[in-house]
Each structure stands twice: as structure tokens, then as C-alpha cells.
Amino acid sequence: MDQIQIDQLRGLSVPEQGLFIDGKTCKALKGGTRDVVSPLDGTILTRLAEAEENDIDLAVASARASFDRGSWSKAAPAERKKVMHRIADLIEKNALELAVLGVRDNGTEISMAIKAEPGSAANTFRYYGELIDKVYGEIAPTTGSVLGLIHHEPVGIVGVIVPWNFPMMIGAWKIAPALAAGNSVVVKPAEVASLTLLRLAEICSEAGLPPGVFNVVTGQGSVVGAALGLHNDVDVLAFTGSGAVGRKLLEYSARSNLKRVYLELGGKSPNIVFADAPDLDQAAKMAAYGIFRNSGQVCVAGSRLLVERAIHGDFARKVTEFASKMRLGDPLDLNTEAGAIVSGDQLSKNLEFVTRAKAEGASLLTGGTRIREETGGFFMAPTVFDQVAPDSVIAQEEVFGPVLAITPFEDEAAAVRIANSTIYGLASGVWTSNLSRAHRMVRAIRAGVVHVNTYGGPDITVPLGGVGQSGNGHDKSPHALEKFLNLKSAWIQL
Ligand code: NAD
């Protein structure tokens, strides 16, 4: 990939996008459409079909019909594996086109998007394709007169609802294991980042996935997402997004067919730096990158930086220096290190948090403003607040933007207390050379992921999931398959 290739793709016109149902592109039944605004310059990139409840009915019916036909659900796992590999190959073949399209849609810097979006999605399809013909049933240790068999069966119809950050990567974390397990899937992408998942649907079809097995329905969350959540023929809902919507999905399940609901929600992840960290410069750089890449629109972003009092002043200066030196600019420039904010609305929300943090007495070290306004796009300077009180809004609520809150702490016990003082429990980081302390912290921090002397890890082999109000269930790793399989027990009298 080089800049010339990216520049050739950046100005291509994007045709109007339909829904993808039953193996083909179609208009919304009522003909609705919406504009897609690019966060890079505020211009209209294309138009998108705006579905309603009856489009979801159609997509779910098509998914159910494909499931009942059995050409995918009953196919030998080795056959499904071949198609999953072809999907991965086609994603790779179209990687640059997908990455550029995604950046124009949601603003992630291309250097990150190319690896995190098509790169990670291809890897995920290959991983679950490779895994599925190694899943065995079990024989239970019953008394000798019976045979107790445990089968794994696909759950049926999986509804997938995806947020706007990393739609291909996060989408693939759910879609790939759901498909590998033999299910049919209906995906509802975020309003402001639908284009790459629509393209993925075409790729899946080209790779040989039978019609109806993978459908994408675009539209408003409160209409299309709600219709999927309330549908009586959806068996499992796999969601990544905010806690507010997660709560609604649990309610929809209770009001409809008690479908299983898996939630990957937000975080306010603590990154904890002790004075004995092995390399304070590296820790400061990773602390800045851990919050400011993709302009903070990363669920596991280390948005709270807890620093031991003895090194607090120097360390805050170092992090601020790294933050101020980050290369901001055109998200389609390979040198850019932090891209756009997804929408004007999200930018306004971020700036409101800045106002509230100032009002609460936090000290602004850098940033706090909109930048590059002349482009017409939505950009915000990496923002660092120091002396943040652990119970203040900026330390408790997820911003989902480029805002870092620094809080000094006195000792290990205080670090644990502050780290565990939010409703969330997604990710965390610990920087120390003390092996015993590292292990104590891994046990003491209430979070689904603890990084030690690093921050962030893209490897598909390790599960990602939260505790507390960061959700339930896991994406990635063999464990993700469990969400999309039912156990069936058979008693056979001998
Ligand atoms: P969001 O909750 O606003 O939207 C997520 C999806 O839900 C979108 O597709 C949206 O259209 C849909 N939706 C909205 N209202 C709905 C309703 N009433 N019923 C059904 N669906 C509805 O989240 P977002 O702003 O797109 O994404 C940011 C959030 O996602 C942040 O909280 C972030 O932390 C979280 N996130 C979590 C992870 C993780 O793995 N834990 C990863 C990425 C993002």
C-alpha cells in the first residue's frame, strides 16, 4: 500500500447504496434514503437506503428460509471452512478499497484502518473458518446403561448490531463465528458507518455464501435496531455499542421471545503507572497512543491515566508532549496518527465534556478544541486534563473521544480503589517492574482485560469482553463460538 494508490481511490464516487437481503441489493420497501456525510470534509459521500420494520421482517424471513433449507446450516464444517477462507481472500484482495471507503465513511486514520478493518476482518474469517472443523461433540460420563451425547448445534438466526468505530473488525468478530457455526445472520450497522459492511455482504456472496445467510439492513437504530431486537424469530442478538442501547436490547428480549443478548459495551479504562515502570518514556508514549489513536473512538481506550504521586508531574508532562506531537491531519494521509471524529454531533458531545471538566476544576494541559475546521470536517485536538478528581464526570463517564483524564495516586491500594471506582470494567493497563505487584494488580482490577507494560493487543486468539456495565460474553478466541452454538443432550438407552 502506498500513498499514490490511496490517492487514486480517495475521490471515487460512491454509488447509492441499497439493503442487502436474500443475496441481492434492494431498495428499502418504503423507498426511504438518507445522506451519508463524510467526517473528512462534511460533504455528502453518497445516499443510503433507510430501512424500516418491514425490511427487517423481510431480512429475518430470508435468513430463516436459508437456515431451514440447510445449504449452509447443515453443510459439513469443512465445506463452510472453504467459503470462510474465500471470504478472507476476497477481503484481502479488496483491502485497500475497503479501507479507503471506511475512512471516508467514519474518519479513522488510514494507517490504523488498513490493519484494523480489512486486515483484522480477513484474519477473523480465516480463524473461525479454520476452527469450525475442529469442534467435537462430547460423550458424558454417565452410568453404563445409557449413552449421553452432547451435540453442538447452530442457534438459528443471529442479529448483529454494530457501532461506528471499526465496523468491519467488530462486525467480523461476531459475523465470522456466527456464520462458521452454521447460522444465518442479519446485520444492522451504525447509521454513520454502514458502507464497508454492505461491501462485505457482496464479498460474502461472491465467495459462495448462499442467499439469505448474510443480510445487511441499514437505517436508524431506534427503528431498524429495535425491530431486530424485538423480532420473535431472532434467536441471538450480538451487540457492540453503548450501555444505553444495551439496556434497551435486554428489554426488547424480555418483551419478545427471550432471545439471548450478548453485550460489548463502553469503558472508562484505567491505565496505571507506578514509579517503578520499566521504561517511563515508553509508558508515556503508549499512554498517549492508548487514548488518541482513532481520536479516542476505541472501546478499550485508556481514558483514565492513574500515575503514582512520586512521578506524576514529570509523567504528565511527557504524555502531554507526546499528545501535542501526534501527527493530525488528513485521515487518508499515511502519516496521520489520529483521524476525524465520526460526526458533528459526536464532536459537539466531546466538546461539552471539555466544558464540564473545566467547570469541575480539572486542569487542561493541552487541546480541548475543534481543529482543522477549514476542511469542513470534524476534528478535535488530543486533550489532556490533569488533577482530575476520581468522582468527577470526566473520570466516570465515557467520552469516546480524544480526552485523557490524569489522576495522581499515593500507593497500590489507592490505585486499585480508583481503578475500580466506575460502573465499567472493560480494559486496563499496569506499568511496573515488580512481578508480584503485576500479578496482584491483574487479580485486583475489575476488568475483562489487563495489560501489563503494554497497552492494546490486536491478536484474535485472546478473548475481549467486559465485566460490570461493560457487558457480558466475549468476542474473539474460540470462546466467541459459544455464543452462536446451542448444546443439545441426547440420552440413548443401551
Ligand atoms: P450506540 O449504542 O449509540 O449505537 C450502536 C448501534 O446500536 C448502532 O448501530 C445504532 O444504530 C444501534 N441502536 C441505536 N439505538 C438503538 C435501539 N433503540 N435499538 C437497537 N439498536 C439501536 O453506540 P455507538 O455510538 O455507535 O458506538 C459507541 C459505543 O460503542 C461506545 O459506548 C463504545 O464504548 C462502544 N463500543 C464497545 C466496544 C466493545 O467491544 N466493548 C467496541 C466498540 C465500541
- CA–centroid distance, 163 to ligand 1, in Å, is 4
Distance 381 CA to ligand 1 centre (A): 24
SS3 193: strand
Q: What is the pTM (predicted TM-score) of this model?
A: 0.97
The predicted structure's pLDDT at residue 326: 94
**Ligand 1 contacts CB of residue 426 (under 6 A):** yes
Question: Which pLDDT belongs to residue 457?
Answer: 82
Check if 240 has its Cβ closer than 6 Å to any atom of ligand 1. yes
Q: Could you give the count of Cα atoms lying within 13 Å of 47 in the half-sphere of its Cβ?
A: 10
How far is 440 from 494, CA to CA, in rounded Å? 51
* Rg for the chain, CA atoms, rounded: 23
C-beta 230 within 6 A of ligand 1 = no
Please give the pLDDT value at position 251: 98
Ligand 1 centroid–CA 246 distance in Å is 8
Position 1 scores a pLDDT of 72
The span from the CA of 354 to the CA of 364, in Å, is 9
Q: Which contacts of 406-409 are long-range, i.e. CB under 8 A and separated by 24 or more positions?
A: 406/305, 406/306, 406/307, 406/312, 406/316, 406/319, 406/365, 407/304, 407/305, 407/306, 407/307, 408/306, 408/307, 408/308, 408/309, 408/312, 409/272, 409/306, 409/307, 409/308, 409/309
d(CA 72, CA 65): 11
Q: Which atom of ligand 1 is nearest to the CA of 226?
A: 19
Which residue's CA is minimally distant from atom 38 of ligand 1? 299
> How far apart (Å, rounded) are the C-alpha atoms in residues 244 and 228?
17
Place of cell 458531545: 349
> Cα(427) to centroid of ligand 1, in Å?
17
- Whether 345 is in the pocket of ligand 1, judged by its Cβ within 6 Å, is no
> Quick one: the chain helix, strand, coil %, rounded to 5?
45, 20, 35
Which residues, at least 6 apart from 259, have a Cβ–Cβ distance to it below 8 Å? 159, 234, 235, 236, 237, 253
DSSP secondary structure string, 167-181? Answer: HHHHHHHHHHHHHHT
For 70-128, how does the pLDDT look when each residue is reduced to its tens digit (9 = 90+)?
999 999 999 999 999 999 999 999 999 999 999 999 999 999 999 999 999 999 999 99
Q: Is the CB of 173 under 6 A from ligand 1?
A: no
225 C-alpha to center of ligand 1: Å? Answer: 10
Residues 6+ apart with CB under 8 A from 451: 427, 428, 429, 430, 457
Q: Which of 112, 192, 242 to mutate to test the pocket of ligand 1 (most atoms within 8 A of CB)?
A: 242
Q: What domains sit in the chain, N to C, each tagged with a CATH number? A: 3-265+471-491 (3.40.605.10), 270-459 (3.40.309.10)
C-alpha of residue 250 to centroid of ligand 1, in Å: 14
Is 224 a pocket residue for ligand 1 (Cβ < 6 Å)? no
Question: Which active-site residues does the annotation give?
Answer: 264, 299
Residues in the chain where the model's pLDDT stays below 70: none
State if residue 174 touches ligand 1 by the CB under 6 angstroms criterion. no
pLDDT tens-digit series, residues 113-162:
999 999 999 999 999 999 999 999 999 999 999 999 999 999 999 999 99
Which pLDDT score is estimated for 33? Answer: 98
Contact (Cβ atoms closer than 8 angstroms) between residue 98 and residue 199: yes
Instruction: Ligand 1 pocket test: pick from 48, 161, 249, 472 the residue with the most ligand atoms within 8 Å of its Cβ.
Output: 161
Residue reference for cell 441481492: 24
- Does residue 226 line the site of ligand 1, with CB under 6 A? yes
